[in-house]
Amino acid sequence: MKTKLIFFIILNIFICFELRASNVIVSTQSAYKGDEVVFELSIQDAQNDVKSFGIDINYSTDELKFKPDDYEIGPLLEQGYGYLEIKEQSPGFIRIGWFCMLNYKIPKHASGIIAKLKFVALKCKDSKLKIVSLQDHIKDWHIQHGFFNIKENAFCWMDTDGDNKIGLREIINLMKYLSK
């Protein structure tokens, strides 16, 4: 009876839940307020040959400032001939596009970093880099969003209302804390 129950549970897991790996990944990073943050955009185990792709990413402009002219091409794209464009279409919306030239392609099952995107941490608040769409040869691939975690420091601890300033409210909270 136990073996039938275990078999039934395992079978339901495979039927009800999709067990899949992410193919387009934005890394998770941590930094202090004011620091530069570098997110790696990568491909993991390409599902097919890729001769072109498009990736759209949203992020919060309250927590992060994108440095659109200061990105690095990753090793996966440095290997061949192609054209990569990374642009901030509007505040909080990044469009990344690539196409190959000649006979180069990203081969099926390839893995590696496509690009390194640079930001500055603006506030003492966590944030997310969300992949909102994929185009061309990667349009049906699985994704993994990136997360930004702020490292706590004295300023973040003091800025209790999150306005990026040490004001009267923070002084009152500090006085209450010290009087305990």
Q: Judge whether 42 and 114 are in contact, CB under 8 Å.
A: yes
> Distance (Å, rounded) from C-alpha 32 to C-alpha 44?
28
Q: Judge whether 55 and 132 are in contact, CB under 8 Å.
A: no
- As beta bridge partners, residue 88 has 94
pTM: 0.77
3-state secondary structure of 42: strand
> Does 34 reside within a domain?
yes
Could you list the residue range(s) of the whole structural domain that residue 58 is in?
20-151
> Distance (Å, rounded) from C-alpha 132 to C-alpha 149?
20
Which CATH number characterizes residue 133's domain? 2.60.40.680
Question: How many domains is the chain partitioned into structurally?
Answer: 1
pLDDT tens per residue, the chain (180 residues)? Answer: 666 555 555 545 544 444 456 899 999 999 988 899 999 999 999 999 999 999 999 999 999 999 999 999 999 888 767 899 999 999 999 999 999 887 888 999 999 999 999 999 988 888 999 999 999 999 999 999 999 998 876 556 566 666 666 777 777 777 777 787
Give me the pLDDT at residue 144, please: 96
> Does 168 reside within a domain?
no
> Distance (Å, rounded) from C-alpha 131 to C-alpha 56?
6
Calculate the alpha carbon distances from 92 to 61, 74, 81, 143, 147 in Å.
5, 22, 29, 19, 15
